[in-house]
């Protein structure tokens, strides 16, 4: 009887543990970072642990297309709130900076008044190190645990400047030793985290996660429309190799006897290199074969993927992609659409060329063009590849697969000294 009573008390205590996901990313509508947050939140919630998403500032700008309008709400059972009471900030940058500073102070007060012993402060953003350390200090004061998501090299998404290297060094030397746990997306990031954290810090590797049921499609190829490639990522060369993709598309079209199209999210004028894109489009005479459709909702992306013949993740040979693992790959795989990707980084641990994806060397435009031609001239083989990739996604990248391991990992933090 005593043992059962003690077990029930332990279970009750664990049920009261709450995870506060702190981020500066938009929620629940956004890009890859937002989608990973949604997967974390749903996995934690489905695992029976309380969780909420706290956005420590406005993410929308007046005068631009607004993706999120609710400052407080519930997404798939997970409550979320925007500190400051609004999702939208001023169009004037200096006003936004003042309000952002205020919201960070509000976030600190919110954590101080709500965190309890045994709760978890889950950091999913890169911000000024002094603020992360301040939030973590509050957590330690309240005897809560500090965990961070490590889905890319800290400050590794931009140019490798002196400032980026300095901020990375500060993060690794000042923040990492104070963490109770790190959740890494790749082997390389896991090694990095272990190198810079204390022996008491606990680690787990969780790869890309996908809300599988929201991207899973039963393919419907419309014979009356022009077959197309679909791209739902950024229009960035550094991140997605966009220039190489468009050039390879132009080269492939020259070797096909039937028309194909390329449909991409985003707007060409919002790209980091609109002039280069326009030059490639003009050189290969792609004006009538390429379409930029702007920002799309999750349902709209799924609709495009349902009829797409091919998706491409043309990740270049960069430090960002060496450490990271593109969430977009998981969403592509979930749709059952044949995928072309590159031999670089974590992806090679999960996918095999000719079995569940087509894999080429990075920054090889000719090889990419050849694979595009192959996909469109071997539709039956490509459909099998797409289906096999979908199975990989369901078995390894669906957030539901990680719900139990993630919650067990978070519960184990309670065994650490506070």
- For residue range 91-133, what is the model confidence (pLDDT) as tens digits? 888 888 899 999 999 999 999 999 999 999 999 977 789 999 9
- Rounded to an integer, what distance in angstroms lies between the CA atom of residue 7 and that of residue 16? 14
pLDDT over threshold 50, residue 187: yes
Q: What is the mean pLDDT of residues 355-369?
A: 96
Q: What is the mean pLDDT of residues 270-296?
A: 94
CATH architecture for residues 212-397: 3-Layer(aba) Sandwich (3.40)
pLDDT over threshold 80, residue 9: no
CATH architecture for residues 14-209+399-415: 3-Layer(aba) Sandwich (3.40)
Q: Specify which residues 184 forms β-bridges with.
A: 150, 205
pLDDT over threshold 80, residue 7: no
Tell me what pLDDT residue 417 has. 57
Tell me what pLDDT residue 11 has. 45
pTM above 0.85, yes or no: yes
Write the CB contacts of 128 (distance below 8 Å, at least 6 apart in sequence): none
- Rounded to an integer, what distance in angstroms lies between the CA atom of residue 159 and that of residue 361? 22
Q: What is the mean pLDDT of residues 185-192?
A: 97
pLDDT-wise least confident of 1-15, 62-76, 155-169: 1-15
- Rounded to an integer, what distance in angstroms lies between the CA atom of residue 243 and that of residue 272? 11
CB atoms within 10 A of CB 66: 14
- Rounded to an integer, what distance in angstroms lies between the CA atom of residue 128 and that of residue 104? 11
- Rounded to an integer, what distance in angstroms lies between the CA atom of residue 181 and that of residue 146? 7
Tell me what pLDDT residue 65 has. 82
Tell me what pLDDT residue 409 has. 97
Tell me what pLDDT residue 224 has. 65
Tell me what pLDDT residue 26 has. 95
Tell me what pLDDT residue 416 has. 65
- Rounded to an integer, what distance in angstroms lies between the CA atom of residue 129 and that of residue 134? 8
Tokens of 357: 């994806």
- Rounded to an integer, what distance in angstroms lies between the CA atom of residue 284 and that of residue 275? 14
What DSSP designation does 24 have?
Answer: S
pLDDT over threshold 80, residue 72: yes
Domain boundary assignment for the chain: 14-209+399-415, 212-397
Can 14-209+399-415 and 212-397 be said to share one CATH topology? yes
Tokens of 364: 């090889």
More confident residue, 63 or 237: 237
What DSSP designation does 173 have?
Answer: I
Tell me what pLDDT residue 302 has. 92
CA dihedral for 343, 347, 349, 350, sign (positive or negative): negative
At 20-49, the pLDDT tens digits run 999 999 999 998 899 999 999 999 999 999
366, with CB counted inside 10 A (0-12, 13-18, 19+), is exposed
More confident residue, 50 or 32: 50
Tell me what pLDDT residue 334 has. 96
Tell me what pLDDT residue 318 has. 84
Tokens of 241: 């190799």
Tell me what pLDDT residue 4 has. 44
With beta carbons less than 8 A apart as the criterion, state whether 400 and 211 touch. no
Residues of the chain with pLDDT > 70, as a percent, come to: 94
At 346-360, the pLDDT tens digits run 999 999 999 999 999
Pairing of strands 78-82, 72-75: antiparallel
- Ordered strands of the 18-23 beta sheet: 72-75, 78-82, 50-55, 18-23, 120-124, 145-150, 181-184, 202-205
Local structure of 19: helix, strand or coil: strand
Tokens of 365: 């435009």
Mean pLDDT score of the chain, rounded to an integer?
Answer: 91
Tell me what pLDDT residue 233 has. 86
Task: Indicate the pLDDT class of residue 384, thresholds 50, 70 and 90.
Answer: very high
| Alpha helix ranges (H) inside 118-186 | 129-141, 162-170
């Amino acid at each position: 009887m005593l043992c059962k009573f003690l077990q029930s008390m332990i279970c009750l205590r664990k049920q009261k543990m709450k995870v506060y996901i702190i981020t500066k990313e938009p929620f629940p509508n956004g890009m890859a970072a937002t989608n990973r947050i949604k997967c974390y939140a749903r996995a934690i919630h489905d695992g029976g642990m309380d969780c909420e998403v706290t956005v420590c500032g406005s993410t929308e700008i007046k005068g631009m297309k607004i993706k999120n309008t609710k400052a407080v709400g519930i997404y798939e059972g997970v409550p979320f709130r925007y500190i400051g009471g609004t999702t939208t900030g001023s169009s004037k940058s200096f006003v936004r900076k003042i309000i952002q500073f205020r919201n960070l102070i509000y976030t600190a007060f919110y954590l101080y008044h709500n965190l309890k012993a045994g709760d978890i402060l889950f950091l999913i953003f890169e911000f000024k190190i002094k603020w992360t350390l301040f939030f973590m200090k509050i957590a330690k004061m309240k005897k809560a645990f500090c965990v961070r998501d490590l889905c890319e090299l800290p400050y590794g998404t931009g140019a490798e400047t002196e400032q980026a290297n300095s901020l990375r060094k500060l993060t690794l030397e000042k923040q990492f030793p104070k963490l109770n746990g790190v959740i890494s997306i790749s082997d390389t990031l896991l090694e990095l985290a272990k190198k810079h954290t204390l022996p008491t810090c606990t680690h787990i590797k969780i790869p890309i996660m996908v809300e599988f049921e929201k991207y899973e499609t039963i393919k419907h190829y419309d014979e009356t429309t022009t077959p197309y490639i679909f791209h739902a990522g950024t229009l960035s060369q550094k991140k997605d190799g966009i220039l190489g993709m468009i050039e390879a598309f132009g080269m492939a079209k020259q070797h096909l006897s039937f028309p194909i199209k390329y449909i991409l999210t985003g707007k060409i004028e919002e790209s980091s290199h609109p002039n280069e894109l326009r030059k490639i489009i003009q050189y290969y005479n792609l004006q009538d074969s390429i379409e930029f459709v702007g920002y799309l909702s999750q349902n709209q992306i799924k609709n495009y993927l349902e009829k797409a013949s091919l998706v491409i993740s043309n990740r270049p040979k960069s430090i960002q992609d060496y450490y990271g693992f593109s969430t977009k790959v998981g969403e592509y795989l979930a749709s059952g659409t044949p995928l072309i990707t590159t031999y670089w980084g974590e992806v090679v641990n999960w996918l095999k060329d000719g079995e569940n994806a087509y894999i080429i060397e990075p920054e090889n435009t000719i090889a990419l063009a050849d694979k595009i031609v192959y996909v469109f001239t071997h539709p039956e083989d490509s459909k099998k590849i797409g289906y096999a990739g979908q199975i990989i996604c369901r078995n390894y990248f669906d957030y539901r697969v990680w719900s139990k391991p993630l919650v067990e990992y978070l519960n184990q933090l309670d065994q650490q000294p506070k």
